[in-house]
Amino acid sequence: MMLPSSPKRPNLFLRIPLVLCGVGIFFLIAQYSRPSEEQVAHMRLQKSVKLFTERKGVAVDRTNRWAQDENAAALGELIFHDARFSSNGEVSCATCHDPARAFTDGAKVAVGVGTGTRNTPTVLGAARQRWQTWDGRADTLWSQAAEPMEAGVEMNFDRVSAVQLVRNDPTLLAAYEAAFGEMPLGLPPVEFAERARPLRLDAAADDLSAAWDALVPSRREAMDAVFSRIVKSLGAFQRTLDAKPSRFDHYAKAIVDRDIEGAKSLSESEARGWIVFHEVAKCDQCHSGTEFTDGEFHNLGLPGADGRLPDDRGRHGAIPKLKVDPFSSAGLFSDDVDGKQATLVRGLKSDPETWGQMRTPSLRNVGRTAPYMHDGRFASLEDVIQFYDTLEGAIALDHHREAVLRPLGLSATQKADLIAFLRSLDSVEPIAAK
């Protein structure tokens, strides 16, 4: 039986050129709609920098009712610059956090009434941090301020003297009352001049702590109440010291907006440095987000003296202090004891892997805050990059060593680009305080 041939089918000789023509058109369209290599790279760059165009203001601090109070900030500013809040009358917060040096001191380790063991970080942008200091032993900006004032090597002041100084100085008293109202009842007479401060967890008992213990509880409570407000005023003031936008922020916006002129706010080397940072060395595994920090703690394996294990316990030593600190977010003087931060603090444990860990520092203004690392061991950014590049001398002990760090083996150009990029993170506008 014969099948009837389909009359609609063109014969073979016609079909081949038709198919070929179709394939040709398909490739032509594909060619024009497929983005060029350059376009792909630009899209990837846009995606990688978009975050920085969405940087928000400093978040609300519920643990400090006066965090956004202008009168409290005004008192805090006076105290920040007032060296009378030290045992020798020579050291203020600004001695180490010098506005002319991006709120650092340029020293390897801090020198106040004594000499410390840690490098002074900037306070610019500190209000954005969940944990304060290298080991995070304070969990709010205001609670942090209590320590330097009473620490022996920093200001070596004491709680009674701080309260009495505010009460006896007409300018400070007026500023205090404008923010917080009248002083509480139960304070000692204004002429009471004995020095006294409570004992800190890691300090040895001394005359000052004995004098504090000897005070009647109602006086201690009244003084704690005033002192907590003094430090809350320092918190309010330091909130105003944000890290202002950098050239890199301007570049990020220009890239997202496809603004060719604006993208020139970074040199070619600086722009390549971002790629080294983000894609090659993957520094943002830890220096992530708009502040270039994950806010968490890591041990980079930096060696101690003579290549031995370092003595600084870092996060491991900080957690027990935080848990008993009456000025923490979970403590008596917090205005948000049931908040997220307080819950986090209550759940902290000093696990063995926290030993030697330090908080990832923000890299904003890093070009201005030499020397580097928690102990100021590296004088320059070149030294820092040399370490990451080779990991020379790094301590490699199971849990003491961060698994993400590998020697990078960067070329000389990549290293120079990376450093140029880091310097583009400095704020553009002047950062000196009033």
Q: CA–CA separation, 268 vs 421, rounded Å?
A: 10
Given the complex with ligand HEC, which of 294 and 335 has the nearer CB atom? 294
Number of amino acids touching ligand HEC (CB under 6 A): 53
Instruction: Kindly tell me the burial class for residue 125, based on how many C-beta atoms sit within 10 Å of its own C-beta (0-12, 13-18, 19 or more).
Output: buried
Among 66, 101, 148, 275, binds ligand HEC (CB under 6 A): 148
Is 120 a binding residue for ligand HEC by CB under 6 A? The answer is yes
Given the complex with ligand HEC, which of 148 and 188 has the nearer CB atom? 148
Instruction: Kindly tell me the burial class for residue 3, based on how many C-beta atoms sit within 10 Å of its own C-beta (0-12, 13-18, 19 or more).
Output: exposed
Among 67, 123, 243, 433, binds ligand HEC (CB under 6 A): 123
Q: CA–CA separation, 185 vs 415, rounded Å?
A: 61
Min dist. Cβ of residue 28 to ligand HEC (A): 44
Q: CA–CA separation, 301 vs 396, rounded Å?
A: 7
Given the complex with ligand HEC, which of 116 and 198 has the nearer CB atom? 116
For residue 216, how many other CB atoms are within 10 A of its CB? 10
Q: CA–CA separation, 147 vs 152, rounded Å?
A: 10
Is 275 a binding residue for ligand HEC by CB under 6 A? The answer is no
Given the complex with ligand HEC, which of 121 and 188 has the nearer CB atom? 121
Min dist. Cβ of residue 90 to ligand HEC (A): 10
Min dist. Cβ of residue 124 to ligand HEC (A): 9
Given the complex with ligand HEC, which of 298 and 316 has the nearer CB atom? 298
The torsion angles phi and psi of 317, rounded to 5 degrees, stand at -80, -20
Min dist. Cβ of residue 314 to ligand HEC (A): 7
Among 175, 234, 266, 345, binds ligand HEC (CB under 6 A): 234
For residue 88, the one-letter residue type is N
Let me know how long the chain is: 434
Q: CA–CA separation, 225 vs 185, rounded Å?
A: 10
Using CB under 6 A as the criterion, what x/- string covers residues 375-394 for binding ligand HEC? ------x--x---x------
Among 101, 128, 272, 298, binds ligand HEC (CB under 6 A): 298
Q: CA–CA separation, 424 vs 266, rounded Å?
A: 7
Contacts (CB under 6 A) with ligand HEC, residues 46-85:
80
Among 174, 193, 324, 404, binds ligand HEC (CB under 6 A): 404
Among 112, 188, 273, 301, binds ligand HEC (CB under 6 A): 112
Q: Are 322 and 136 in contact (CB under 8 A)?
A: yes
Given the complex with ligand HEC, which of 145 and 208 has the nearer CB atom? 145
Given the complex with ligand HEC, which of 116 and 188 has the nearer CB atom? 116
Among 73, 145, 271, 431, binds ligand HEC (CB under 6 A): 145
Given the complex with ligand HEC, which of 42 and 350 has the nearer CB atom? 350
Is 433 a binding residue for ligand HEC by CB under 6 A? The answer is no
Is 243 a binding residue for ligand HEC by CB under 6 A? The answer is no
Is 369 a binding residue for ligand HEC by CB under 6 A? The answer is yes
Residue with tokens 């790094």: 394
Q: CA–CA separation, 404 vs 422, rounded Å?
A: 20
Q: Are 255 and 46 in contact (CB under 8 A)?
A: yes
Min dist. Cβ of residue 206 to ligand HEC (A): 19
CB environment 5-39: b (16+ within 10 A), e (fewer)? eeeeeeeeeeeeeeeeeeeeeeeeeeeeeeeeeee
Among 49, 67, 91, 196, binds ligand HEC (CB under 6 A): 91
Instruction: Kindly tell me the burial class for residue 112, based on how many C-beta atoms sit within 10 Å of its own C-beta (0-12, 13-18, 19 or more).
Output: buried
Among 64, 132, 233, 265, binds ligand HEC (CB under 6 A): 132
Min dist. Cβ of residue 148 to ligand HEC (A): 3
Among 249, 372, 427, 433, binds ligand HEC (CB under 6 A): 372
Nearest to 103 by CA among 124, 118, 78: 124
Residue with tokens 């509880």: 217
Compute CA distances 114 → 80, 110, 151, 252, 322, whole Å.
19, 9, 10, 43, 23
Backbone dihedral region of 274: left (phi > 0), alpha (psi from -120 to 50 degrees) or beta? alpha
Given the complex with ligand HEC, which of 131 and 212 has the nearer CB atom? 131
Q: What is the binding site for ligand HEC (CB under 6 A)?
A: 80, 91, 93, 95-97, 110, 112, 116, 118, 120-121, 123, 126, 129, 132-135, 141, 144-145, 148-149, 154-155, 234, 238, 277, 281, 283, 285-287, 298, 300, 302, 358, 360-361, 363, 366, 369, 372-374, 381, 384, 388, 402, 404-405, 418
